[in-house]
Amino acid sequence: MTNFETTSNRLAYIDYEAIAQERNRRRKLMHDAAPDLLLALEALLADALALGLADSHLSGSAIEAREAIAKARGAA
């Protein structure tokens, strides 16, 4: 589906189908990367905990990481 919109006294062509296709392409990329991103976040959190960083320097980030992991795992 396409449409025209008046902008500054000239017609601008808006290709809604191309916009939707690009949005869907980006969603697919994120969907495909999600498992790897989750594993990487879990590994980073485990490393931070092992080094004792989650309790001192990264406490806010560690909490956010735990919440994101729980959400991705369906626990939140």
Condensed to tens digits (0 to 9), the pLDDT of residues 8-59 reads 556 678 899 999 999 999 999 999 999 999 999 999 999 888 887 766 666 7
Q: What is the pTM of this model?
A: 0.68
Q: Token pair for residue 63? A: 């909490």
Strands (E), the chain: 2-7, 10-15
End-to-end CA distance of the chain: 38
Q: How many Å apart are CA 2 and CA 55, to the nearest integer?
A: 53
Which residues are CB-neighbours of 1 under 8 A, at least 6 positions away? 16, 17
